[in-house]
Amino acid sequence: MKNQTYRMTMLFDFYGELLTERQKEFFDLYYNEDLSLAEIAENAGISRQGVRDVIVRAEGIMQEVEDKTGLIRRFEAQRAHLDAIAAAATEIRTINYRQYEDQRLTELADQILEQTSALKE
């Protein structure tokens, strides 16, 4: 995956609902809101180490589930295939525009692009 923050936010998107409310809150503040451990600790009225422990525990829970299920790994692989399908459909549309001007080919290429876009969401 691209970097630690990206990996953690992907874990949170997929598995965040498995966390306690406190874990979700601290994780969100740290990774999505970019607050420091000290800022979160001050707002929560606990130590910086306490905040770090909650976040590390949350990371561990989500990583363990990912290790067992592989959902994110499969999602990333699927997205690469969808990108390749979309690129092929775009090329078909371009070739059709330049050489054939077949309305049905344009419609089919557009339909493929719409469907790949929907699957990416």
Write the CATH number for 33.
Answer: 1.10.10.10
The answer to whether residue 1 scores a pLDDT higher than 50 is: no
Q: What is the Cβ-side half-sphere exposure of residue 66, based on CA atoms within 13 angstroms? A: 21
Domain check: are 58 and 103 in the same one? no
Say whether pLDDT at 16 is over 70: yes
8 lies in the same domain as 51: yes
Domain end call among 29, 53, 69 = 69
Spatial CB neighbours of 39, under 8 Å, sequence gap ≥ 6? 29
In terms of Cα–Cα distance, which of 65, 80, 58, 87 is closest to 1? 80
In this prediction, residue 121 carries a pLDDT of 79
Give the HSE-up count for residue 5: Cα atoms under 13 Å, Cβ half-sphere.
8
Residue 2 has pLDDT above 60, yes or no: no
Residues 61 and 16 grouped into a single domain: yes
Average pLDDT over the chain reads 94
8 A C-beta contact, residue 70 and residue 14: no
Shared domain for 49 and 88, answered yes or no, is no
User: Which positions ≥6 away from 103 have C-beta within 8 Å?
Assistant: none
- What is the rounded average pLDDT of the residues 28-45? 96
pTM of the model: 0.75
Greater confidence (14 vs 120) lies with: 14
What range does the domain containing 12 cover?
Answer: 4-69
| Furthest-apart CA atoms within the chain: distance in Å | 69
Total domain count, the chain = 2
**What is the per-residue pLDDT across 62-113, written as a single tens digit (0 to 9) for each?**
999 999 999 999 999 999 999 999 999 999 999 999 999 999 999 999 999 9
Residue 120 banded pLDDT, cuts 50, 70, 90:
confident
